[in-house]
Amino acid sequence: MKQTLLITNILNDPAALQAVGEAIRDGKTVVFPTETVYGLGANGLSEDAIDGIYEAKGRPSDNPLILHISRIEMLEALVASVSEDAQALIDAFWPGPLTLVFNKSEKVPYRATGGLETVAIRMPRHPIARAIIDAAGVPVAAPSANLSGKPSPTKAAHVIEDLSGRVDFIVCEDSVEIGLESTVCDVTQAEPVVLRPGSIGVAEIRQVTGKGHLDPGIHEVKHLVKPKSPGMKYRHYAPEAPMILIEGSMEEVVEYIRGLHLETERVGYLLFEDTLKTLEINGQTLGPREDPDIIALRLFENLRHFKAAEYDKIVCEIPARGTGVSDAIRNRLLKAAGNDLVILSKS
């Protein structure tokens, strides 16, 4: 077990900031907040430091990581080239929740890229993330700071639950703004390809570059489940209990849930405010049906709420397709439910 130091109020504590920067240069692991989710950072140029990340997360070491930078001057040394599209996206969205995948330079270790010739880079806008990267003076490799298989952490409490005793520092401050991981966009192709949906949608990328598409590998729904026999495939990805995911209007969902007659089972409900109210049942609220930003910010915390010991299944609503954020929420919920979805709307 490691001795994990918790740090608060780091922006008003120059000595702590310097210590954390030094620790990163020295190959230690530091968890810090970003505007998307908390990251588990280490020196992105050191193979040993990167091994420390994998060890802390309990994650296989062939997963590629995002290198976080705080200044645009840090980019040049890490990539082979910056295309016109990439530059336009940088100008429009950095610093912010957009990760770009470039062809890597020789300086980037394969341990950071999972052996790939490409490297993912992001300049976060969160002031603490930027101050820490600045203090480190090196690109900071940082996956989401959850144990492998759990939802990404959006609160210091989640990080402490997952990684206490496994990392050197946890920089606490509950100031995540978005709640979903960054959009990952490959800019090594003829047009930008979104590999992971996030709050910045394909539409916004197209607005900037005039082109771009969602990776066809991101199949929205694998199984369209007939309402009578909802799929409840167990997924290792959070939450701990199997999920029934439902899409429909409030009225359709209310009728469907009443028809399931789940009264005698240990069911966790994760529903929109209006549905919960109408059904008059206890459950977690996803938030207001029409407000994807609020839904996104609470989503992972909501998923963490349902522990296997307490629930046999989770009945959860999914927002309709729409903006970047709604589509990113759909992506995460579909993953959590093993891509099974009950679609109730006739239209």
Interface positions with ligand TXA (CB under 6 A): 34, 36-37, 39, 64-66, 99, 101, 113, 116, 118-120, 122, 142-144, 181-182, 184, 195-196
Report what 57 binds from ligand TXA, Mg ion, none; CB cut-off 5-8 Å by kind: none
User: 314 is written with which tokens?
Assistant: 């989770």
| Cross-strand partners of 120 | 66, 101
Name the pairing type of β-strands 118-122 and 98-103: antiparallel
- In angstroms, the Cα distances linking 248 to 11, 155, 296, 317, 318 are 45, 30, 19, 8, 8
**Beta strand extents in 54-136 (DSSP E only):** 66-68, 98-103, 118-122
As given in the structure block, the two tokens for residue 182 are 């960054």
Least Cβ distance, residue 143 to Mg ion (angstroms): 5
36/43 with CB nearer ligand TXA: 36
d(CA 64, CA 42): 14
* φ, ψ (nearest 5 deg) of residue 51: -55, -35
Select 144 or 182, whichever has its Cβ closest to Mg ion: 144
Strand partners, 39: 32, 144
Stretch that binds Mg ion, among 38-46, 138-146, 211-219, 318-326 (CB under 5 A): 138-146
Interface region with Mg ion, contact rule CB under 5 A, candidates 2-10, 141-149, 234-242, 329-337: 141-149
In angstroms, give the least distance from the CB of 73 to ligand TXA.
20
Contact call for residues 345 and 247 (beta carbons, < 8 A): yes
Does residue 36 bind Mg ion (CB under 5 A)? no
Contact partner, 193, from ligand TXA, Mg ion, none, Cβ < 5-8 Å per class: none
Of 198 and 268, the one with the shorter C-beta distance to Mg ion is: 198
Contact assessment for residue 325 and residue 293, using Cβ atoms and an 8 Å cutoff: yes
Task: Decide which of Mg ion, ligand TXA, none touches 34; Cβ closer than 5 to 8 Å per partner kind.
Answer: ligand TXA
CB of residue 117 to ligand TXA, shortest distance in Å = 8
Q: Least separation, in Å, of the C-beta of 220 and ligand TXA?
A: 17
Among 43, 46, 70, 144, binds Mg ion (CB under 5 A): 144
Report the DSSP beta bridge partners of residue 170: 6, 31
Q: Where are the beta strands (DSSP E) in 206-335?
A: 213-214, 223-225, 243-247, 267-272, 284-287, 313-317
Instruction: Tell me if 95 sits within 8 A of 130, measured CB to CB.
Output: yes
Stretch that binds Mg ion, among 63-71, 95-103, 136-144, 312-320 (CB under 5 A): 136-144
Number of chain residues interacting with Mg ion (CB under 5 A): 1
| Residues at the interface with Mg ion (CB under 5 A) | 144
